[in-house]
């Protein structure tokens, strides 16, 4: 029986790569978007042209009413999600002394509260079915901390704490909760950096290159599989040895 995966923030970058890979492997894919409707529609067509099963769904994941409505729509079109990939997030570079209260709240609203809301909404059905996979996309900066990204690092560290604690609560319901902490990945988030900065970052990576979104998607596909049923509460760094 085909399983359904919901991927938040899936219109581009890591989320889009996850959507393509899961569809290729026979999953029914629910693509969530917020501001990138055109990219979500383009991805939908691309996947369907290759024979994949997917639909797109609008929601601001930091808004509980949006997420609840999205849940109803996903269930009606694709079935209740068996796998939830909390990928949606925002980032910003700024000195700690320049971060405003509003910027701090927005960062946590999307990166941390959004994960909480989605887990809270989709977990009960997993508990009823006694099976499920939750994969939260954190960041290497949530593990190590990043200069000039204190609010981003803190929000991603919160995702790690949430994942480790929740994993212990739901393990007996045959539900795993894990984190992926991507390193320097070639996505739109990296466009804020100069070529010189990217070159310096690559020099700190043992593999000698930036990661690709597919590298993270492959890790997510494994954690969603039956082969990963005894792995929970873990943080998998996909960082090329950063």
pLDDT above 80 for 191: no
Query: What pLDDT score was predicted for residue 86?
Result: 98
What pLDDT, in 10s, does the model give residues 211-238? 999 999 999 999 999 999 999 999 999 9
Model confidence at 166, in pLDDT bands (50, 70, 90)?
A: very high
Span 137-162, average pLDDT = 97
Query: What pLDDT score was predicted for residue 197?
Result: 80
Model confidence at 165, in pLDDT bands (50, 70, 90)?
A: very high
Rounded to the nearest integer, the mean pLDDT of the chain is 96
Measured distance CA(11)–CA(33) in Å, rounded:
6
What pLDDT, in 10s, does the model give residues 90-148? 999 999 999 999 999 999 999 999 999 999 999 999 999 999 999 999 999 999 999 99
Span 182-208, average pLDDT = 83
* Catalytic option among 27, 58, 64, 152: 152
Instruction: List the alpha helices (DSSP H) in the chain.
Output: 13-24, 37-49, 64-78, 101-108, 114-129, 140-144, 150-170, 195-203, 213-224
Reported as half-sphere exposure (CB side, CA atoms, 13 A), residue 138 has a value of: 31
Give yes or no: 152 in active site.
yes
Triad 203, 206, 211: Cα angle to 5°: 85
Query: What pLDDT score was predicted for residue 108?
Result: 98
Contacts with 19 (C-beta within 8 Å, 6 or more apart), sequence order: 7, 10, 29, 31, 43, 47, 54
Domains annotated on the chain, with CATH? 4-235 (3.40.50.720)
pLDDT above 70 coverage of the chain, percent: 98
Measured distance CA(97)–CA(106) in Å, rounded:
17
pLDDT above 90 for 189: no
Span 192-204, average pLDDT = 81
């Amino acid at each position: 029986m085909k399983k359904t995966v919901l991927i938040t923030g899936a219109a581009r970058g890591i989320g889009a790569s996850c959507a393509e890979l899961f569809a290729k492997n026979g999953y029914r894919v629910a693509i969530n978007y917020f501001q990138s409707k055109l990219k979500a529609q383009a991805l939908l067509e691309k996947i369907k042209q290759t024979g994949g099963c997917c639909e797109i769904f609008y929601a601001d994941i930091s808004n509980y009413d949006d997420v609840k409505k999205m849940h109803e729509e996903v269930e009606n079109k694709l079935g209740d999600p068996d796998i939830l990939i909390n990928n949606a997030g925002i980032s910003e570079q700024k000195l700690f002394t320049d971060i405003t209260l509003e910027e701090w709240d927005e960062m946590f609203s999307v990166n941390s509260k959004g994960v909480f809301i989605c887990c809270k909404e989709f977990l009960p059905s997993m508990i009823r079915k006694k099976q499920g996979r939750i994969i939260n996309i954190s960041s290497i900066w949530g593990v190590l901390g990043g200069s000039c990204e204190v609010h981003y690092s803190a929000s991603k560290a919160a995702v790690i704490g949430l994942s480790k604690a929740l994993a212990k609560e739901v393990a007996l319901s045959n539900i795993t909760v894990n984190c992926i902490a991507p390193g320097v990945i070639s996505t739109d988030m990296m466009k804020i950096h100069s070529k010189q900065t990217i070159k310096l970052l690559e020099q700190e990576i043992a593999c000698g290159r930036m990661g690709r979104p597919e590298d993270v998607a492959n890790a997510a596909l494994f954690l969603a599989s039956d082969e990963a049923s005894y792995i929970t509460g873990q943080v998998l760094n996909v960082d090329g040895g950063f």
